[in-house]
Amino acid sequence: LSAARPRGWANAIGTLIALFGMSVPHFWLGMLFIILFAVKLGWLPASGYESIFVDPVRSLETMIMPAFVLGTALAATLMRHTRSAMLGVLKADYVRTARAKGLDEGVVVVKHAFRNALLPIVTLGALLFGELLAGAVLTEQIFTIPGFGKLIVDAVFTRDYAVVQGVVLCTAAGFLLMNLIADLLYFLLNPRMR
C-alpha cells in the first residue's frame, strides 16, 4: 500500500512504524512491555513459559509479548525492503502493460507487481533468520523463556562446550535449511527460473 501510493498517508504511517521498529532495541521494548502490559495493566504474565500441550491459552498469553518484541525489528526491515522492491517493480513494463489492458489496480499491484517483488524479500527473509536467532538470546533472557538463546547463555556461563557446539550446529543447520527453502520458493514464485 505504501509503494502503490507513495505520497499518501499509508506511506507516512508505514515509514513511521518501520523507523520505530528498527530504532528501538529489543531489551528496552521488552522491559517497556513488561512494565505496561504485565505490571500496570495486568493483562499478560511478565515472564515464564507454558507448553501449548499443557495449557494452550496460557501458552499464547506468555508468547504474545516475546513474539512482538522479537518480530518488531524484523518486520520493520521487511517492510522497508518490500516497499523498495515494490517501487522498482511498479515501474516495470509488464505492470504498465497490465494497466493498459484495463486490469483493476488491485489485481495489478497484488498479482503482477507483488509476486515479482517477492524474490528479494524471500532472500532477505532467509537471511534475517540468523538475526532472529541472535535477537532470541536477549528476548529469552528478558522474559525467562527456556529456549536456544537461554540454553547457549547458560552453557557459556557454565563452560559446557559440548552444549555450545550443539546449539551452534543446530543453528547453522537451521540457517542452511532456511536458505534451501528460499531457493525452492524462487521456483514457485518465478516461472522463468524453472
What pLDDT does residue 80 have?
86
Q: How far apart are CA 15 and CA 23, in angstroms?
A: 12
Question: Hey, CA dihedral for 58, 59, 65, 66, is it positive or negative?
Answer: positive
Across all residues in the chain, what is the average pLDDT?
84
**Per-residue pLDDT tens over the stretch 63-88:** 889 888 888 888 888 888 888 888 88
Can you list the pairs that 39-47 forms with residues at least 24 positions away whose Cβ atoms lie under 8 Å?
46/143, 47/142, 47/143, 47/144, 47/145
Asked whether the predicted pLDDT for residue 194 surpasses 70, the reply is no
Q: Are 73 and 79 in contact (CB under 8 A)?
A: no
Residue 167 pLDDT exceeds 70 = yes
Residue 10 scores a pLDDT above 80 = no
Distance of CA 162 to the CA centre of its chain: 30
Confidence of residue 158 (pLDDT cuts 50, 70, 90): very high
Taken in order 130, 55, 45, 48, the sign of the CA dihedral is negative
The pTM assigned to this predicted structure is 0.75
Do 45 and 61 form a contact (C-beta atoms < 8 A)?
yes
Rounded to the nearest 5 degrees, what angle is found at the Cα of 133, between the Cα atoms of 69 and 179?
120
